[in-house]
Structure 1
Amino acid sequence: MMIYLDNSATTKPYNDVVETFQKVTTQYFANPSSIHTLGGDVEALLTKSKEQVASLLQVKPHEVVYTSGGTESNNLAIKGVAYYYQQRGRHIITTSIEHPSVLETCRYLEQEGFDVTYLPVDSRGKISLHDLHGALRDDTILVSIMHVNNETGSIQPIEAVANMLADYPKVVFHVDHVQGFGKISLPYNHNHLDLITISGHKIHGLKGSGCLIKKEHVGLTPLQHGGAQERNVRPGTENVANAVALSKAMRLAKQSEHRYHELESLRRTLISELSEYKHVHINSPDDGAYHIVNLSVKHFKPEVLIHALSEEGIIVSTKSACSSKENDVSHVLVACGLDDNQAGTAIRISMSIDQTEQEIRSCLNAFHHVIEKYEKIMG
């Protein structure tokens, strides 16, 4: 029996979500833009799903833009703002520990003539509000900061940033909320939380589903051009089945959000017992998100450790799944001040809200078998 502890990479879809997708894709297959009865029924279903998401987040239905997931939402938010407001300014602020879908987008925009400031973080992976304030300029048009880091679980002070940016009405604030949604809530209706990225497959929804919350006062240049779907922001025939399944996954995630604190004791157990090994270093901050534990086993190649744990029935991963097959060290851990050895030997344990104490105990037993053998060899 496998114990899955790679939930920050992706989660297992809930049966209710899969059933919803199957029902909609087979029974509501018409194009929602068609003017016949079947098209009207599908359009009504799509509208209802937006109303459900809007109700969950206390935003307006037309502020919900369905996308294919976190990467597209982040690209649409960052490039969309950059191109729409480039006459106002060409300066963007982000952090040094963002997901590749943010960092690579910013690097692309640098090639397009935009100026990007990458804020440093402290050893806990947190930015300084003082640094952010000092980085703001007259030509700053966008601040993009992730809520919960996907590798270490560090949590950024998003509400405090939004409050600060209230004094800078020309600056748009985007939040990558992919690892936070359904776990650590945000004040979604905050006037200065302008753009919010959410991904379906991180909350027991389906891959290829996600949304961007775009407040009505924010302008975006679309990434594609075509029809007038999604209020001209994201053209193309809507994936209604994915949209409805996403709204179901989001509702289930919000309903179970109160259980998230149950993971605190499991995380504490993991950190306490793994810290006893002399070659193990815990990289996640004490005040990090409960579902993520990042650690390094010194001089132990992470892929070897992952395969050894796999043979014991435990599934964990290295850094971000989007870049885990690359052999370079974690840019997140380097930014937090770790040396190349620690940053290059890190693995991530990431739990779901349904994780049990028995599963965590089995995980620790597997670590014990693997690391005990290793420490005997290392001496």
Structure 2
Amino acid sequence: MIYFDNSATTLPLPEVLETYHKVNEQFFANPSSLHHLGSNAERLMDRTRQSIAQQLEVESGEIVFTSGGTEGNNLAIKGIALEHQSRGKHMITSQTEHPSVLEAFRGLEQLGFEITYVNVDDKGKVNPADIKRYIRYDTILISIMSVNNELGTIQPIEEIGQIASQYPKLYFHVDHVQGIGKIPLSLKRAKVDLCTLSGHKIHGLKGTGVLMVRQGIRIFPLFHGGGHEGNKRSGTENLPGMVAFAKALRLIKEKESNHMGGLKSIYHYFIEKLRDIDEIVINSSPEGAPHIINVSVPGVKPEVMIHVLADKEIFISSKSACSSKQPDVSSVLKACKLEQSVTTSALRISLSYQNTQVEVDQFINEFIKAVRYLKDKKGRY
């Protein structure tokens, strides 16, 4: 099996699974319980929060545990909007954000908020000058992802953070789900106020994640109840998931420190091999994140190519679920103003530190055969 769909989800590491099972067995008590079993669980939760904070170079009180990227993004965006709407109801994002960001903003538009969706260039990159130009007296939030989940485009987060920091009542949120462990980002230096992370993108478990919220920033909770997580996210704490997330984060940060050169080498080798295939278009920039490559095969439906490769035990993805009644247009590539033949035939190849050059060669061999077969069949299978 060759698995190149790591931006959809990653294979949980054995160490992470072992940690999860061990905590489930030994610290099953509710951390809010007053007896000593609950106290032991609470102490482990506190140590876990401190561990994550150290990895992210933030304060432990700034860590809010969530169920993953979608909840984290919704909590950040809606939490700021609902808590600070008396300051203003204008917010800024880009046209190429993850659906959990875009749909959160569209939901807020129904509540009377005004959202500016900033344009991107042909590689999906935001111009910080455009963001600055759209800031108004009533702007309360800017939300920009660190790495685009389809193209791998790295956004100028530090530049945007510096701009946002010039406006005292304006908060800056970063969806760092695709970037963590793959690109360096100092949340402090970039002046990020809220940051979303997800466990299953870093060889952790689904249903685990973190939202970093700078001290002193109030957000309106999505869940009301017992006041857990500093009144930001009520609900009995998923302690095994928290500890598993901390383990996955530590391991991916170690990979970033010690094996980034290997990942970049495979990424650039992959790009060079793809350039030799005349029938495809490479949409990603070579300066993008070293784990996401977006290509199009004009004239071939993405789902057909995915099924052909899956029959060979090779797994990649397109941008989203496909529809049999309308073209599978990538909204991200469309926002980049690429041709329709490119936006309707996009495929995403996403790597992990576990992938090898041998797998790349095997993929290229089967991919070329599939491309030429499907071109002859005019995209049918």
TM-score of the pair, normalised by structure 1: 0.96
* 1:83 alignment partner in structure 2: 82
The answer to whether the 8 A contact 2:318-2:348 is kept is: yes
Identity %: 49
Task: Kindly provide the amino acid, as one letter, of the partner of residue 75 in structure 1.
Answer: N
Task: Give the corresponding residue for 1:210.
Answer: 209
Q: What letter matches 1:77 in structure 2? A: A
2 CA distance for matches of 1:199 and 1:261?
24
Residue 6 of structure 2 corresponds to which residue in structure 1?
7
**How many angstroms apart in 2 are the aligned matches of 1:169 and 1:361?**
52
Which amino acid in structure 2 is aligned with residue 344 of structure 1? T
Q: Retained in 2: the 8 A contact 1:32–1:42? A: yes
Q: Which amino acid aligns with 2:16?
A: V
* Worse-superposed segment, 208-217 or 188-197: 188-197
SS in 2 for 1:156: coil
* Maintained 8 Å contact 1:125/1:285: no
CA drift at 1:261: 3.0
Report the AA paired with residue 362 of structure 1. Answer: Q
- Residue equivalent to 1:288: 288
Confirm or deny: 8 A CA contact 1:155 1:288 kept in the other structure. Answer: yes
Letter of the 1:294 partner, please give it: N
| Paired position in structure 2 for 1:156 | 155
The Cα of 1:218 is off from its aligned counterpart by 1.2
Is 1:324 the counterpart of 2:325 in the alignment?
Answer: no
Q: Which residue of 2 aligns with 1:279?
A: 279
- Tell me which moved more, 261-270 or 355-364: 261-270
Q: Find the counterpart in structure 2 of residue 166 from structure 1.
A: 165
Shift of 1:260: 2.3
SS at match of 1:117: strand
RMSD over aligned Cα, in angstroms? 1.4
- Give secondary structure in 2 for the equivalent of 1:149: coil
Report the AA paired with residue 292 of structure 1. I
Note the C-alpha offset of 1:307.
0.8
Retained in 2: the 8 A contact 1:261–1:290? no
**In structure 2, what is the Cα distance between the partners aligned to 1:290 and 1:324?**
24
Q: Which residue number corresponds to residue 220 of structure 2?
A: 221
Structure 1, residues 211-258: CA drift from partner, whole Å, max 9, x if none? 000011211000011012100000011000000100000011111102
Partner of 1:94: 93
1:69-148 equivalences in 2 (<5 Å):
69-148=68-147
Asked if the contact 2:11–2:203 (Cα under 8 Å) also holds between the matched residues in 1, the reply is: yes
> Mind listing any 5+ residue stretches in structure 2 that lack a counterpart?
none
Report how far residue 124 of structure 1 moved. 1.3
Q: 2:113 and 2:134 mapped to 1: Cα distance? A: 15
1:357 matched to which residue of 2? 357
Unaligned runs of 5+ in 1: none
Query: Are the aligned partners of 2:268 and 2:286 in contact in 1 as well (CA < 8 Å)?
Result: no
User: Could you tell me which amino acid in structure 2 is paired with residue 21 of structure 1?
Assistant: Y
1:96-120: CA deviation from partner (whole Å, max 9, x where unpaired): 0000000000000000000000000
Residue 54 of structure 2 is matched in structure 1 by: 55
Instruction: State the 1:335 CA deviation.
Output: 0.6
> What is the CA-CA distance between 1:377 and the residue it aligns to?
5.0
TM-score, normalised by the number of residues in structure 2: 0.96
Contact preservation (8 Å) 2:158, 2:190: no
Counterpart secondary structure, 1:18: helix
CA contact (8 A) 2:162 2:190 kept: no
Q: Tell me how many residue pairs correspond in the alignment.
A: 375
Deviation at 1:311, TM superposition (A): 1.5
Q: How does 1:246-285 map to 2 (within 5 A)?
A: 246-258=245-257, 259-285=259-285
Partners of 1:66 and 1:209 within 8 A in 2:
yes
Deviation at 1:346, TM superposition (A): 0.5
Q: Which amino acid aligns with 1:315?
A: F
CA deviations over 1:333-378 (Å, ceiling 9, x no partner): 0011112221111010000011111111111111122123234556
